[in-house]
Amino acid sequence: MSKDQNISVFDKIKNDKHEQLVFCNDESLGLKAIIGIHSTVLGPAIGGTRMWNYSSDNEALRDVINLSKAMSYKSSLAGLNAGGGKAVIIGDPKIKSEPFIKRFAEFINDLNGKYWTAQDVNMSTSDIVWMKERSDYVVGLPKEHGGLGDSSSPTAYGVYVGIKSATKHITGNDSLKNKKVLVQGVGNVGRKLVSHLINEGADVSVVDINKENIENVSGDNVTIVNEHEIYDKTYDIISPCALGGTINVDSLKKIKCDIIAGAANNQLGDDSLVPEILKEKNILYIPDFLINAGGIISVYHEQINDIDEKKVMKMTESIYDKVLDVLDHSIKHSFSTNASAIQLAKDRIKENSKK
């Protein structure tokens, strides 16, 4: 038996003060899911639903605990009156059906507005629409269904202004003209980020294991990098926009850049070791949950029924100043940027818990 299996569920959640875990089961449909609610101090918890064929139920539990906590920090740093939550459905996404999805929506209803969900990994637009038919607590809807539509635009814009802010911190000027930028992953968010960078005159390289994604940007003024040669060159900025865990002990042996700032969630492969290595290599890391908040800002506006794209983008633009706040805190307290972002998020939650 592994060490992790000896730890009780309550031990797993008490250190980070998770409020609630909800285990959902409908054997007739093959539905198994966990809803994690980290905090509702600032407001109802918001976070997407993802479906994944986890290797074990314990792995799913770890994922929902980590992701819901990250959503609390993301909402807090973004200045939203929202808490953090996440849902994971366990199993092969191929087993999804309309009854399956609507049954899951009923479990969300049981929480009576304490948790609001949106689209995440392996969940389609049609899944979200089906969920909305059964539950009011669903956001991130297409425009034709009364939502704000694709949240990849504000997410990409937030990463872009975050990169500019980090650049200003290092150079005193936020211009990205002629800056060498590697974008790892050019799906919906990465592709839009590339457009922002090119428009400002950056020297952009891209890498993606998905050939279709590469084809979608090949007509742009970008350099295509082979995945096996990803860290062979020196860059000003590396922007992870695909998988998490790419900034780890092994990759940092090869990475040569000044700034790491991207949209991918959970970029740090080992929180205990990586920040110190980043410091030793003099690489400025901008926490993902700080600069990829454009998506949560968008769905929050749906939740409060303020369907205004201009307001969403205006609030997303404030990520620029929030990055500078985190960097100032990091210097003042000799914290890593990741630790500073977490501390500022916790401070806002703590302040509101006293009200």
Q: How many residues does the chain have?
A: 355
Kindly report which listed range (12-21, 81-90, 295-304) carries the lowest average pLDDT score: 12-21
Instruction: Report which of residues 25 and 10 the model is more confident about.
Output: 25
The stretch 221-233 carries a mean pLDDT of 92
Report pLDDT for 56: 93
The catalytic position among 69, 74, 86, 322 is 86
Report pLDDT for 355: 62
> Is the model's pLDDT at 11 over the cut of 50?
yes
> What is the tens place of the pLDDT at every residue in 111-156?
999 999 998 888 999 999 999 999 999 999 999 999 998 888 999 9
The stretch 179-203 carries a mean pLDDT of 95
45 contacts 83 by C-beta, under 8 angstroms: yes
What is the CB neighbour count within 10 angstroms for residue 219? 7
pLDDT category of residue 6 using cuts at 50, 70 and 90: low
Domain boundaries, the chain: 4-70+83-138, 152-292+322-347
pTM: 0.90
Report pLDDT for 244: 80
> What is the tens place of the pLDDT at every residue in 307-343?
999 999 999 999 999 999 999 999 999 999 999 999 9
> Is the model's pLDDT at 173 over the cut of 90?
yes
The stretch 180-196 carries a mean pLDDT of 95
Whether 4-70+83-138 and 152-292+322-347 share one fold: the answer is yes
Residue 86 annotated among the catalytic residues of the structure: yes
- Distance CA(89)–CA(32), nearest Å, equals 6
> What is the tens place of the pLDDT at every residue in 42-73?
999 999 999 999 999 999 998 899 889 999 99
Token pair for 226: 């082979």
- Distance CA(107)–CA(134), nearest Å, equals 10
CA distances 34 to 59, 81, 85, Å, are: 11, 24, 11
CATH topology of domain 4-70+83-138: Rossmann fold (3.40.50)
Token pair for 133: 């038919």
Q: Based on the number of CB atoms within 10 Å of its own CB, is 58 exposed (0-12), middle (13-18) or buried (19 or more)?
A: middle
Closest CA to 73 of 352, 349, 353: 349
Report pLDDT for 265: 86
> Is the model's pLDDT at 2 over the cut of 60?
no
Q: Which CATH superfamily is domain 152-292+322-347 in?
A: NAD(P)-binding Rossmann-like Domain (3.40.50.720)
Strand spans (E) along 69-112: 83-90
Instruction: Report which of residues 13 and 232 the model is more confident about.
Output: 232
